[in-house]
Structure 1
Amino acid sequence: MPARLVATVLAAGFAVLAFLPALPARAATPELPDRIAAAWQSDKIYVDARLRSPGELDRIRTAARGVDFPVYVALVPQTPYTRENISELPTLLHARVGRPGLYVVQVVSDAYWSGQAELFRPAGLKGRTLTSVQLDDKQDLDIVDDQPVPQVVRTIQQAATAYDGRPLPAIPAGDLEPDSSEHGMSVTDREDLSAYIGLGIGALAGFALTLARGLRRRSRRAKSEPDDEPPVDEWARHSEADEWIERAEQALAKLDTRSGKSARQLDQRDDAYRRLDAARTLRADQPEDLLALTGALVLARQAARVAGGGPVQPPCFFDPAHGPGTIQVDWSDDVEVPACRRCAQLVRSGRTPSGLQVWTKSGVLGLNREQVPYWTLDPDDNPMVATGFGALSDELPDRIAGRKDEVR
């Protein structure tokens, strides 16, 4: 190649390279928590660009100025991401911002608003939980849900009560729903629900039982390395189960007051009642049994989520009280189970989470007692074990309703 031609080609190449840094980089779209956290740096009220900005945002700012902690608010539309992660969004946002305060996420779906909020205190500061204040607030269910501002303002007031004990103010009449007589389920609704519960019971029983037995055999072969998790406080589990049952009842009561419910909302209502009824059954029939208490907690938590418009999430297989099992991990040959982040990290590092430990009898005469992971128990004896509290198959509500004799 002639020297002049080589020089020309090289010069053209360098000219192109000189322009490359000036070209805009095509970056991946940031996740929703990252976008919200970035926007909060300039304004602690984030309104998604896809939404028309609601009026009265100044009411939120005024309420936020009247409390002794920062308030972060995000108003977003319902999307597959928010539907799957709404319960975790306040925690995810707090992790990104890194400051104590009240984190409120309101989601709109079918013109109705619902949300999640968490109050994060400065290190070492203790007090009432936001949830306990909300449960005691008799007017909470009467707030309008076709606009976000009244709900956010009330959440700020509830957080202030939890934070420093100030009394809750009365809710302005304009923020309250008109009186409605459409409370609870009608007789027809309950008959339909009973018929629905009867369908499909046992359809997945064989598969779930086989899977549970395989997990049991695998767990007995595996060497468990304790993860230093403290033993379960049964009284705390009592409180958690009762608290979630009450939250589910409130969420369903609010859903029942809506007029013109869509077919999807009616299906969600029926499913939520099915899970709540099963939770109540476990709580009433076996008030001191740790497996039943945990099952009631899981079912009530799912009922509250479904009534609020979210999808059913399986619990963490290893300890259902940990929260949703959002990560699939290999647990035995060709078997994956859902796990929370903490348990998933342990499994992927080659360790077996200690999981939910229950007392069992051992020894020749059965006089000794020892704590073992719940999944090592006989699945024939308990529907919670057979279904992994719903982590292996979503038939726990039906088994509680239709086969109470399996609950020990």
Structure 2
Amino acid sequence: MKAVPRTRSLPALLLAALTLVLATLYAPPASAETSVSTIAQALRKSPVYVDPAARDQLPANTAEALAARIKRADKPLFIAVLPTGYPTANLFTDLRAATGITGLYGIRLGDRFDARADSSVMSPTARQNLVRSVQGEDARTQLADFTDRALLNMGGHAPKSWGGTGDAVSGTALITTAAVLVIAGAGAYTLVRRNRRRREEEQRAALDRLRVVVDEDITAFGEELDRLDFQPAAPGADDAMRADYEHALDAYDTAKQRMAMAERPEDVRGVTEALENGRFSLARLAARREGRPLPERRPPCFFDPRHGPSVSDATWTPRGGAPRQVPVCAADATRLADGRDPVIREVDTDYGRRPYWDAGPAYGPWAGGYFGGGLLPGLLVGTMLGGLMATPTYAADYGAGYGDFGDQAGYGGGYEGGDMSGTNFDPGDFGGGFGDGGGFDGGGGGDFGGGNF
């Protein structure tokens, strides 16, 4: 016997119809996403914005804690959490134009994440590496890791607008303000002292990290002197050879003395300058003893200054950067010509061993002593160290002990991170394709990739 289909009762049908009507009436339309202007207005007041439709990704208390951490660090870091499907066309560029504030902008959109920054705040290479390092994490972990790493490697200061307390001024607020003015002097003095202590602590930490690397350099040069088979009184030694030898010994002693007296990271430049001079003196001594023409004064090998003076220039392309000519020693020139990797000087960082040009701002004075004057800009452009050294904040934190990088590179002016620049910014910093920095197209980004976001 064939089963008879069960029919719904009239009340059930009416209830279903009523539910459908209410859902249609009260569901937000597809075009009701939060506007870029609204997001920008919120970011001018606080560093973290969470869209109402994305609150399940980052709870309010977590967002508040993240915002407080950024404010305490006094850095222009902006984070927006948006729902899946939010329009991505020109999102970073439009948001940067709407806020008008120089900084680093990270956006979590659904389960995807990317970031853009003004180059005065963070270099493209540093930003790409940073984004790549947090891909695949859940929202809370990802945004916390991104924030922690960004604050360590970015320049600039927090915008003044984050210090606002509200829109309206009440009588109570005026009384409170008057009371605050009474203790303003003491408060300002306390703040200055705290900031000074923090800066001194950061400089000490940077110097301690540098000291390990510089001590390795000094030791390596001392070992070269120990291996040197030269006796000033030996037959065949002339005054020129003895002078070169004495210069090398003096450079070794000078380097040790300057390092012992170093109190700030920028003091390290004098140490590496002395080591560079000493190694050139040894190169001259070797040429004299072997009857070769004296070498021209060239910078040390870019990949590791311990290799000694360079003998030629070679084309080298850093990961994610543009090709450039760098000075290389004979051994590295041969390796590059054979298609092999050069022997690169790596140093310890919080993320393991890294090339010195991707190891953080403290290595600027160290590199400046080896590659002084106008040479550094062309060598380091596009690297983490190069991007950081080009910012005014870097000069404030680490001095100008890096070979006058900012002036020679033409970065002396412009807006520091956190300053109001309005729409006066380089759109190239906020556009371009994806993938270099672990962008949104990781597995075929679809309409989420391309050059729009």
Higher RCO, 1 vs 2 (CA within 8 Å, ≥6 residues apart)? 2
> Bigger radius of gyration, 1 or 2?
2
Common fold by TM > 0.5? no
